[in-house]
Structure 1
Amino acid sequence: MSTYLRFLFGRRARRRWLHLIIGGALAMPYVFVGQLVVGPATDSRYVFNDLPLQLLSFAVGLPLASVTSVLFPLTRPLEAGAVWWLCGIDRDRLARGPARTRAAKGRTAAWFTLHLGLGGIISGMSLAVPPFAGFLAALPLLVWLGGDELVELPDALDHTWVLALAPVAGVATLLALAACAAVAGTFLARWAPALLGPTPEDRLAAAEARAADLAVRNRLARELHDSVGHALSAVTLQASAARRVLDSDPEFVREALAAIEETTRRTVGELDAVLGVLRDGDAPGTAPAPTLAADLDGLLRRTRAGGLRVTATVGIDPEALPPVLAREAYRIVQEGLSNALKHAGERVTVRLRIEVADGHLEITVENPVADTPECRPGGGHGLRGIADRARLLGGTAQAGAARGMWRLYVRLPVKGPA
C-alpha cells in the first residue's frame, strides 16, 4: 500500500506532475493559435466554450509546437534540464547541447510534442477534476443543508445510496487523476533518454572535449613534474651535500647555496611560464619555455653543483633543432638527470650523449646503480612523461638497468609530428 501511495503522491511523482503541468502551460500559446484556425474554419465565435472545438484546437496546435522545436535548437537543452531536475533522470543520459543534426531535431520535436500533448491533457484534468471531486465529496452535506433548492439532482441519481457513495466517488476520482499523472510522468521519464539523449555525434563531441581536457591535464602534469620535480631533487641533493661538508669545505657550501638560489628562482620562472602557456597558449608576452640551445649549459651547471659529476657529449648544434623538438628534448634531458640525482647517489658520473643519427635525435643518459631502482608508491611519473613526449613526437623511449648501469635512451625524429 505504501509503495502504491509513493507512486501516486511521492516526491518524484509530485515533481513529474509539475513537469506535466509546465508542459500544459507551454501548450497554451499553441492552443490559442489553434483557436484562430479552428474558429473561422468551423464558423464558430465561441471556441473556448465548446469542448470538442477546444480539443480540435489543441490537436491543431501540437504540430505547430513540433515545428517550433525544430526551428529553435535550444529547445533540447532546456527540455533536458527540466527533465533532469523534475523527472529524476541522470544528467549523463541526456544531451547537453543544442540539437544540430536532422535526427536530433526530429527526436527533440517528438519529445516536445509528447511533453506538451500529455502535459495539456493532465493540466486540463488537474483543473477540472479537483472541483468536481470536491463537489461529489460534499454532495450529501449540500443536499442535507439545502435540499432540492440548493442542489437539483436528476431523478436517476436522487437516491439515498447514490448520496452515500458520492464521497467515495469523489476520492476515487482524485486517485484516478493522481494515477493518470503518475503513469504519464513515468511514461515521459522512460522515453526522455531515448528522445533527449545524446546522439552519436554528441558522444563524439563529448569524447573529443574529454580528450582535449585530458591532454591539457597530462601536459600540465608533465611540465610540473619535469620542472618542479627536477628542481626539488637538485635542491635536496645540493642541501644534503652542503650539510655534510659545512665545516670542512665552506667554498663548496657557498657554491651549493648559490646553486639552490638559482635553481629555485629559475623554477619559479618556469612555473610561471608553464601556467601562462596553459592559460593563454603561446600568446605574445608569455615567458618562453626552456630549450636545449638556451638552457642546457645552465642545467648541467646546476646539476654539477650538487656534487654529481656529469660528462656531457653534445654532437649537434642545438640551435639547428626545431623549436618544439628543442623544448621537449630539454625536458627529457632534465628528467634523465633528475632520475640520476634521485637514484644514483652522490658523486657518481652521469654520461649524457646528444647526437643525430639517421635523421633522428638520440639522447642517452647513463649512471651506475647498485640495484634496479624501485618506483616509490605513486612514483614513476617521470618515465611515463618521457614516454609520452617521445610518442607525441613520433619517437621511442627505453629505460632500464643492466650490469649495474641505468640507461635511458630516447630516439626522436628531427622532422616528425610536432
Structure 2
Amino acid sequence: MNRLFGARARLRWIHLILGGALLMPYFLLAQVGVGMAAGGVNVLSSLPLTLAAYAAALPLAAVTAVYGLVRPLSVAAVRAMCAVPGERLAEGPARSWAARGRTSAWWTLHLGVGAVISGMTLAVPPMAVVLIALPFSAGLRDSGLGLGWFGTGAEPYAAPLLGAGLLGGLALCAAGSGALLARLAPVLLGPTAADRLAAAEERAADLAVRNRLARELHDAVGHALSAVTLQAAAARRVLDSDPGFVREALAAIEDTTRRTVGELDAVLGLLRDGDPARRDAAPAPTLAADLDGLLARTRASGTPVTARQDPGPVRDWAHLPAIASREAYRIVQEGLSNALRHGAGPVELRIRVRDAAGTGHLEMEITMTNPPAAPQDQAPRTTGGRGLRGAAERAALLGGRVEAGVHEDRWRLRAVLPLAEDAR
C-alpha cells in the first residue's frame, strides 16, 4: 500500500499531473490545427480528433525542449518530486546536441504520460464515486447512470466493487508511471560525457587555484615562522650583551609578522570568496619589489646571506614577466626557509638570467647553497617536504625544473625558469 499511496508515490503523482498541465498549451495549439484540418469541427466532441490533437502536441513539446534551460527545470522537478539522487542528474543547461536530444525525449515522455495520468485523475474519481454510491441511491439508479456507462447488465450491488477497482487501477497506473519516469530520469537527464568532462575541468581548475593558494600560505607562513623563531632565539642569547642586535631582531620580527599577517588575511579572504576569478588573483610578492626585504629579514635572524644578482639581458628585475617574478621570489623564499630550519652556516644565493644553451631563449637560474647541519643539530621535519614539492610545482608551471640535494658537501637548491620572449 505504501508504494501506491505513500509520500513518494504521491509526489510522483503530482509530478505527472504537472506534466499534464505543461502539455496543455501545446494541446490547445494542436487542437486548433486539427480542428481546422477537420473542417472547423470541435475537436473535443470526437475522441479520434482529441487523440489526434494529443499526438500532434507531443512533437511540438519535443521541439521546444531543445532549448538548454529546459533541462535545469526538469532536473529541479525530478529532484523535488521523484526521489532521484541529485548526483545522478546533470547540472546546468544542456549545451551539446546529445544532451538536448535526451532532454527532448524526457520532456516529451513526461508531458505525454503526465497528460494521460492527469486525464485519468480527473475522470476516474467521479465515476468511481457514482459507482460506489449506486446501490444506496435510487435516484442514481433511476437516472441511468452507473453500470450503464459500461454497457453491462450487472446488478447494482456489483457497482461498488467496480468503483473500487477503478480507483485501485488509477493508483496503480500513477505509481507505475511515476516509478518508470524515476527510473528513466538518470538516463535522460543524467550527465553526458561532455558534461562530465566540463565538470572535471571545473574541478581541476578549482583544485589548481586552491593548491596555488595553499603553496602561498605554506611559503609565506612557513618562512615567517622560521625567521621569527631564529630572530627571537638570537635576540634571547644576546639580550644582555648586545642591545643593538636585540633591537634590530625585534624590529625584524615586527616587520615579518606584519607582512605575513597581511598576506595571510588576503589569501584567507580569497579562499572564502566563491568567485574563482578573484581567487585566482591572489596577491603575491615579487622578485623585483620584495627580494631585498626578504634578504634583510633573513640576515636579521643571524644567518649571513651573500647574494649575487645578474639580470643579464633583462637589465632589471622589474622587466621580468610578472608570473616569473612571483614564482622566483617564492622559490628563493623556500630555499632560505630550508636554510634557516636545516642549515648550519652562511647562505650563498645567485640569481642570473642567461641565454639557454645558445638557443636565443632566456632562462633564469636560481642557485642557493649552504652547509648542511649535523644530524643531531637538525630540526625535526614536520611538513613532509611540502615546501620543496611546492617549489618544484611552481617551476613546472613555467616549464622549468627544480633540483635539491647535497652537492659537493653543501646543500644546494637549483631552479631553472624559462622566460617569455619579450622579457628583455
Equivalent residue for 1:65, pick from 61, 64, 74 = 61
Alpha carbons of 1:282 and 1:105: their partners in 2 closer, same or farther (altered >3 Å)? closer
1:296-341 per-position Cα deviation (integer Å, ceiling 9, x unaligned) = 2211110111122223333445525433222211110011111222
Equivalent residue for 2:387, pick from 382, 389, 401 = 382
Equivalent residue for 1:95, pick from 78, 90, 99 = 90
Aligned to 1:26: 22
Mapped contact 1:15–1:87 kept (Cα < 8 A): yes
Give the total of aligned pairs.
403
- Deviation, structure 1 residue 259: 0.3
Aligned-partner residue type, residue 349 of structure 1: P
Aligned-partner residue type, residue 355 of structure 1: R
1:369 and 2:373 are equivalent in the alignment: yes
Aligned to 1:194: 187
Aligned to 1:213: 206
SS in 2 for 1:190: helix
Aligned to 1:263: 256
Task: Indicate the larger mover: 245-254 or 408-417.
Answer: 408-417
Aligned pairs for 1:97-116 within 5 A? 97-116=92-111
- Deviation, structure 1 residue 171: 2.6
Aligned to 1:355: 352
Aligned to 1:299: 294
Mapped contact 1:393–1:416 kept (Cα < 8 A): no
Unmatched tracts of structure 1, length 5 or more = none
Aligned to 1:327: 326
- Deviation, structure 1 residue 410: 1.5
1:91 and 1:255 map into 2 onto residues whose CA distance is 60
Aligned to 1:342: 341
1:79-137 per-position Cα deviation (integer Å, ceiling 9, x unaligned) = 12212222222333322232333322222221111111001001111111122222233
Mapped contact 2:128–2:167 kept (Cα < 8 A): yes
1:181 and 1:63 map into 2 onto residues whose CA distance is 23
1:254-295 per-position Cα deviation (integer Å, ceiling 9, x unaligned) = 111100111123334545666799979999xx9974222332
- Deviation, structure 1 residue 148: 4.2
Aligned-partner residue type, residue 96 of structure 1: E
1:416 and 1:222 map into 2 onto residues whose CA distance is 27
Aligned to 1:412: 417
Task: Indicate the larger mover: 349-358 or 105-114.
Answer: 349-358
The alignment's C-alpha RMSD in Å is 3.2
Mapped contact 2:29–2:57 kept (Cα < 8 A): yes
The normalised TM-score by structure 1 is 0.85
Alpha carbons of 1:229 and 1:358: their partners in 2 closer, same or farther (altered >3 Å)? same
Alpha carbons of 1:42 and 1:383: their partners in 2 closer, same or farther (altered >3 Å)? same
Mapped contact 1:397–1:411 kept (Cα < 8 A): yes
2:123 and 2:72 map into 1 onto residues whose CA distance is 32
1:156 and 1:271 map into 2 onto residues whose CA distance is 85
Aligned pairs for 1:41-60 within 5 A? 41-43=37-39, 45-60=41-56
Task: Indicate the larger mover: 132-141 or 329-338.
Answer: 132-141
1:122 and 1:335 map into 2 onto residues whose CA distance is 68
1:362-413 per-position Cα deviation (integer Å, ceiling 9, x unaligned) = 222333133487642x643322211111101111112235787543222222
2:283 and 2:186 map into 1 onto residues whose CA distance is 48
Aligned pairs for 1:228-247 within 5 A? 228-247=221-240
Aligned to 1:86: 81
1:50-107 per-position Cα deviation (integer Å, ceiling 9, x unaligned) = 333322211111111112222x321122112212222222333322232333322222
Alpha carbons of 1:75 and 1:288: their partners in 2 closer, same or farther (altered >3 Å)? closer
Mapped contact 1:94–1:197 kept (Cα < 8 A): yes
Aligned to 1:310: 305
Aligned to 1:13: 9
Alpha carbons of 1:8 and 1:416: their partners in 2 closer, same or farther (altered >3 Å)? farther
Aligned-partner residue type, residue 313 of structure 1: R
1:393 and 1:263 map into 2 onto residues whose CA distance is 28
Aligned to 1:180: 173
Percent of paired sites with the same residue: 60
1:222 and 2:215 are equivalent in the alignment: yes
- Deviation, structure 1 residue 25: 0.4
1:356 and 1:374 map into 2 onto residues whose CA distance is 35
2:116 and 2:325 map into 1 onto residues whose CA distance is 69
Aligned to 1:400: 405
Mapped contact 1:222–1:385 kept (Cα < 8 A): yes
1:128-161 per-position Cα deviation (integer Å, ceiling 9, x unaligned) = 1122222233333225xx58446665595353xx
- Deviation, structure 1 residue 36: 0.8
Alpha carbons of 1:281 and 1:151: their partners in 2 closer, same or farther (altered >3 Å)? closer
